[in-house]
Amino acid sequence: MRGFLLGLSVFFLCVFGVWGGARIVNGIQFEQEIGGYLKRAADANTIPLAADNLQTALSGIQKRGLTKGYTSLLWRTPDEDVGFWHINLTSAIYELNSIQKNATQLEKTNVLMKLRETLLDEGENTHVTVPKGASIYPKNKDYAWWGWGTFLLFSIFGVMAFALYANEDF
């Protein structure tokens, strides 16, 4: 019995590890397809360069279905509104594309500065504005059940196995 419980505990620990690995892979893929291009658009020095990178990010956003909804599970907060984020980025690309070729350098710089303020959050560290959990959206609920469920089962079977090893009479 002790060996069986310990085996179950190790199994669920491994499944929990796979969950962690999947989260890391999703984060990397999100950065490659969307986050990195948003950062490049924010750092661009020309309108065409910013527009190209923002358009690439928007294509990835639309491909992943990040156009409406919330990434949160229990309650909705504005920073997790995927629809607002998508509309805001779509408006930014529209503004970049509406700049006239003969616009003054000051006008172009102002649009690039506004884009940077839209794409980046300033604070202790500067980072790209992205709703929390966007890398796994719309499967946030599935990942939550997977992570919490396997961690809970690992903990339960681990405690039971430890109790059996600690108390031979159990």
- Tell me what pLDDT residue 170 has: 47
The rounded distance, in Å, linking the Cα atoms of 53 and 148 is 36
Number of domains in the chain: 1
- Tell me what pLDDT residue 3 has: 85
- Tell me what pLDDT residue 168 has: 67
Residue in the block written with tokens 């929390």: 132
Domain span including residue 123:
2-166
- Report the chain (170 residues): mean pLDDT per 10 consecutive residues: 88 96 98 98 97 98 96 92 97 96 95 96 90 95 96 93 75
Helix (H, G, I), strand (E, B) or coil at 156: helix
- Tell me what pLDDT residue 100 has: 93
**Which residues have a Cβ under 8 Å from the Cβ of 13 and sit 6 or more positions away?**
154, 158
- Tell me what pLDDT residue 67 has: 96
